[in-house]
Amino acid sequence: MRVIIINGPMGVGKTVTGKLIADKNPGTAFIDGDWCMDIHPFVGNRETKAMAIDNILHMIGNYQKCSECRMVVLVWLMDDQWVLRRIRDGLSALRAEVKNITLVCEREVLIKRWRNDHNCEWRTEQWLEVSLASLQYFSSMKDVIDTSKLTVEQIAELIMSE
């Protein structure tokens, strides 16, 4: 099974891109890593991230057993190397074909996208500062796509063509 991992800062467009890829590719499951650690109030510590990783890998393993599913798109903000490593190791154990992409954009573009997203409860000024501070980290990763001047369709096409 093919698994596409889309990583990047909050607000960069991971979810909208992942959903578009899933919609355009029949037999594709969409997983948002945030669903796998949806604790109220939010707690993003090592324990909850480890639980989310276990949940993600379990879901992908189940999708792998389903004859209707041919691909999984996982979107999640993975700003700890150990998280990404554990996801990759788990997918290797599942013998999945993995493609890892990190989305970034220019600071001004992220601010504009953030302010135009009225549906997400995380779009606060406090979380915007956290997201902006993470841009440099995500930009330093491998397999980065700068989405600043691209449409979501172009981003999805780039991901699928690589």
- Between CA 89 and CA 9 the distance in angstroms is 22
Which residues lie below 8 Å from residue 34, measured CB to CB, with a gap of 6+?
Answer: 76, 77
Q: What per-residue confidence (pLDDT) applies to 118?
A: 74
Q: Structural domain tally of the chain?
A: 1
The structure tokens listed for 150 are 């691209």
Residue-level pLDDT at 24: 98
Q: How far is CA 107 from CA 2, 75, 114, 148, in A?
A: 32, 21, 11, 9
pLDDT means per 10 residues, the chain with 162 residues, are: 97 96 98 92 92 98 98 96 96 97 98 86 88 96 97 98 82
Both tokens assigned to 2: 């093919």
- Domain coverage including residue 156: 2-161
DSSP state of 32: E
Report how far residue 76's alpha carbon sits from residue 10's, in angstroms, rounded to the nearest whole number: 9
Residue 120's pLDDT is 76
Exposure string of 66-86, with b = 16+ CB inside 10 Å and e = fewer, is: eeeeebbbbbbbbbeeebbeb
Chain center to CA of 2: 15
Q: Report in angstroms the alpha-carbon separations of 122 from 21, 83, 100, 147.
A: 23, 21, 24, 21
Q: Which of 79, 87, 20, 97 is nearest to 56 (CA)?
A: 87
User: Cis peptide before 9, with omega less than 30 degrees from 0?
Assistant: no
Q: Which CATH number belongs to the domain containing residue 25 in this structure?
A: 3.40.50.300
